[in-house]
Amino acid sequence: MSCDVGNLGRVGSRWAAADRVTVGGPPSRDRSRLMIALGQRRDATAGTAARRKGVLALARITELAQTGTVLNDQPEVRLSLQVTGPGLAFGTAARVAVGGARRANVDAGQLVVLVDPASREYQIDWDRSALVNGLVPARFALTGGGVRDLTGQTGPIMEILQILWAHNVSLSRMSEPGTDPAVGEQVQAVLRAAATR
């Protein structure tokens, strides 16, 4: 099962050469591009299902191998993943193009994934992964004043991300959970618990 959806909507004209692909014979560069494009479209469907009814989980990278393929000037790697989350525990593999921030997330050894529990289809959430891996600051306002910095603290950050996901609070509104008092209180409870760890 593949998971990375990358630039979903942009298969377009870059893959126009696919109509020249012939069946049989050795794989051509154009055929490889077609297969990648078709894979991305399939992944888009899986990602959509995971986004609608999925849960956030953590995928630990247990193995990494170069595939020898380069996509948009980014090397593709094969990852073996151990996914754990609420009611989930399974192993899987993914082929993803890594470059820039994605490479830093892969190097950190863990990724946040959105999983459809029924089908186990999943999608890597690169932005949330950056938070969990400490690649971007994770600072939260405390109700009594002050700020709690959880940068790089996987457990508390995952708890907060799962609370926000369950209440449909987007990552861009993460710093405003106070719009729903129940969500705000749950986040504050995690922040208080993190202070005692």
Task: Indicate the domain borders of the chain.
Answer: 1-125, 137-197
Cα 193 to Cα 7, 37, 126: the distances in Å are 38, 45, 26
pLDDT of residue 48: 52
Prediction pTM value: 0.71
Which residues of the chain have a pLDDT value below 50?
1-47, 49
So what's the pLDDT on residue 158?
96
- Residue-wise over 63-94: b if at least 16 C-beta within 10 A, else e? eeeeeeeebeebebbebebebebeeeeeebeb
Percentage with pLDDT > 70 across the chain:
70
Please report the pLDDT score of residue 116 as a whole number.
95
DSSP class of 27: P
For residue 64, the model assigns a pLDDT of 96
Neighbours of 135 (CB within 10 A): 18
pLDDT of residue 179: 67
Length of the chain: 197
**Hey, which residues does 85 pair with through a beta bridge?**
88
pLDDT of amino acid 176: 62
> What's the pLDDT score for residue 145?
87
Q: For residues 161 and 128, what is the distance between their CA atoms, to the nearest angstrom?
A: 8
Report the pLDDT value the prediction gives residue 81, as an integer from 0 to 100: 98
Angle, CA of 13, 18 and 22, to the nearest 5°: 165
The answer to whether residues 1 and 92 touch, using CB atoms and an 8 Å cutoff, is: yes
